[in-house]
Amino acid sequence: GDYFYPAGMKGRKKLKEFLIDHKIPRADRDKIPILIDKNNDILWIMGLRMDERFRAKEDTKRRLVVRIV
């Protein structure tokens, strides 16, 4: 399964377990957009949580702006 490091939590979490913990119905789980990088690392589960490793920090020099229309 896919793992990520949810912002505000300690350690990594399986994507499936994260969605279950957040009471996302099984039928809706495949409809949630997920932003990944070229290495297939999860950056953001849209509307739910970012990955802690990819959050902008005080010393961040470059940022990616994503607009969903």
Domain count, the chain: 1
Domain that holds residue 50: 3-54
pLDDT score for 1: 76
Residue 37 lies in a domain: yes
In a domain, residue 60? The reply is no
Residue 29 and residue 20: Cα distance in Å, rounded?
A: 9
Is residue 12 domain-resident?
yes
* Residue 68 vs residue 16, higher pLDDT: 16
* Token pair in block for residue 22: 């957040």
Residue 51 sits at φ, ψ, to 5 deg, of -85, 130
Pairing of strands 13-14, 42-45: unpaired
Whether residue 62 is contained in a domain is answered as: no
Measured CA to CA, the distance from residue 2 to residue 55 in angstroms comes to: 19
For the entire predicted model, the pTM comes to: 0.84
User: For residue range 9-53, what is the model confidence (pLDDT) as tens digits?
Assistant: 999 999 999 999 999 999 999 999 999 999 999 999 999 999 999
Residue 69 lies in a domain: no
Report if residue 65 sits inside a domain.
no
Residue pair 26/69 in contact by the 8 Å Cβ criterion = no
